[in-house]
Amino acid sequence: MLNRFLGLVKKDIITGFRNYYFLMVIIVALLFVGIIQFVIPEDTSIKPSVYYYIDYEGEMKAYLQEMIGQSEEEHDKIYKANSREEIIDNMKKSTNSIGMVITAKQGKPSIEFILQGYENEQVKNALLLSMRDEINSVFNEEIEIDVVKLKQGLNVEKIPTNKNVLPLFVLTEPVMLGFILIAALIFMEKDEGTIKAYIVTPGRLPEYLASKITLMLILGIISVLISTILVVGFDADYVSLLIIVILGGIFASSLGLIVASFFKNLSQAMIWIIAITLVLSIPTVSYFFPSFAPWFFTILPTYPLMFAIREAIFQTGNSSIIYSTALYLLVVSIITYGISILTYRLHLARD
């Protein structure tokens, strides 16, 4: 049985080689590394731009200016404007921006925040809260709050924006490449009648499908190694990374097999493959906004997967996420692999 399986894998590797699978995976990985290293700036931020205008000459002016000066040091998108109108003009050009106007009201400063209008009450409240806190902490005694960090010693230094995109690449390419490529491979063999020829041999269906998945895993490993080594060198936890990529790859490839089994050719399947890919990539929103995680994000396997990949690449010492994700993926990939065998049994029997 092992011999038969290895024979199949060898055949699939040769097929993959002839069809430029390997070349393609290497080119896409290199292209991406190039984009990370040379196109995406290191310090891009999704924080809103802030435009401010001070029309207040009272006793607190010096303090207010110092406060803005401090913010300017921490946040690179704070711009001074010369009037309220100028702020509004600038805000209309960029939907990710807010304005702040300080005027005098009965001798006291009055601060007006100008928002876009789509922000909800909670965002507005938080904005006012941080302003109140900022001002009150200067004129009142500082209050100490008891803060407990459950995982001491997590290494949470800031990852440069461009390198921070690498885990998303690992998710969409090394892990998910099997989803689309395996479908292409299956349709090619359907056209050539290889599957039909195979079922009359002593070879069994699970071996046939496992061999296809193995080729996808080899391609995934090549892709993840090229991209990760070229971007972060040897700093990543490669053992965990490979385990996650392999388990994720089994899930994605068997899902690809399941989808492909319902269609006659690649053109038909392609639209669904693209649509499912889009759905599976929705959780990437949470990657940029970690406090935004609605239930329909978290039920998708790609959600824990991308955080586990990030932990494996930029280790913070939070290894529990890698173990829990690996266990979860193991279960999910066994299920999808099992379903893929069932669907092929059914469809081959029908054809």
Partner 1 sequence: MIRRILNVFKRDMLNSFRDYLMLYMFIAPILLTIGFSFFIPSVQSASLQFAVDENLDREVIKEFEKYGKVEKYNSIEEIKDRVNDVDDVAGITKNNEGKFQVILEGNESHDTEVIPQMIIKDMMRENKLNIDLNVTDIGVKRSPVALIGAISIIQMAVLIGGVTIGFNIIEEKQSNTIKALNVTPMTKLEFIIGRSIVGIVLPIIHVYIVLWILGMLNVNKMMVLVMTIVSSLIGILIGFLIGVISNNQITGITNMKAVFIIVSLSIIGALLLPESKHFLLYWAPPYWSFIGFRDILLNNITWGQIGVYASWILGLTFIIFLLFRKKISRGLA
Please report, as residue ranges, which positions from 229 to 248 form the binding site for partner 1 (by CB under 8 A).
none
- CA distances (Å), origin 292, targets 283, 289, 324: 10, 6, 21
First-to-last alpha carbon distance for the chain, in angstroms, is: 26
The C-alpha atoms of residue 11 and residue 6 are separated, in whole angstroms, by 9
Per CB under 8 A, does 2 bind partner 1?
no
Q: What is the DSSP letter of 98?
A: E
Give strand pairing partners of 78: 50
DSSP conformation letters of 249-280: HHHHHHHHHHHHHT-SSHHHHHHHHHHHHHHH
Binder among 139, 200, 233, 351 for partner 1 (CB under 8 A): 139
Query: 191 vs 338, which CB is nearer to partner 1?
Result: 191
Residue with tokens 């269609």: 263
Query: Cβ of residue 117: shortest distance to partner 1, in angstroms?
Result: 4
Binder among 68, 115, 222, 230 for partner 1 (CB under 8 A): 115
Binder among 1, 6, 14, 154 for partner 1 (CB under 8 A): 154
Three-state SS at 97 = strand
The C-alpha atoms of residue 54 and residue 61 are separated, in whole angstroms, by 9
Binder among 284, 316, 319, 343 for partner 1 (CB under 8 A): 316
Query: Cβ of residue 49: shortest distance to partner 1, in angstroms?
Result: 8
Closest CA to 255 of 313, 338, 195, 196: 338
- Which residues in 66-105 contact partner 1 (CB under 8 A)? 77, 88, 91-96, 105
- Which residues in 157-196 contact partner 1 (CB under 8 A)? 180-181, 184-185, 187-188
CB hemisphere CA count around 257 (13 angstroms)? 29
Using alpha carbons only, how large is the chain's radius of gyration in Å? 27
Per CB under 8 A, does 65 bind partner 1?
no
Query: Cβ of residue 177: shortest distance to partner 1, in angstroms?
Result: 9
Per CB under 8 A, does 249 bind partner 1?
no
Query: 10 vs 108, which CB is nearer to partner 1?
Result: 108
Query: Cβ of residue 182: shortest distance to partner 1, in angstroms?
Result: 11
Query: 185 vs 217, which CB is nearer to partner 1?
Result: 185
The C-alpha atoms of residue 94 and residue 78 are separated, in whole angstroms, by 13
Closest CA to 216 of 188, 264, 191, 250: 250
Give strand pairing partners of 53: 101
Per CB under 8 A, does 299 bind partner 1?
no
Contact 207, 5 (CB under 8 A): yes
Per CB under 8 A, does 14 bind partner 1?
no
Q: Which two tokens stand for residue 315?
A: 């280790």
Per CB under 8 A, does 128 bind partner 1?
yes
Which range binds partner 1 by CB under 8 A, 144-152, 214-222, 240-248, 330-338? 144-152
Per CB under 8 A, does 6 bind partner 1?
no
For 328, phi and psi rounded to 5 degrees?
-60, -45
Which range binds partner 1 by CB under 8 A, 5-13, 108-116, 212-220, 338-346? 108-116
Per CB under 8 A, does 38 bind partner 1?
no
Query: Cβ of residue 318: shortest distance to partner 1, in angstroms?
Result: 6
Per CB under 8 A, does 200 bind partner 1?
no
Per CB under 8 A, does 315 bind partner 1?
no
Per-residue string for binding with partner 1, 255-284, x by CB under 8 A?
Answer: ---------xxxxx-xxx-xx--xx--x--
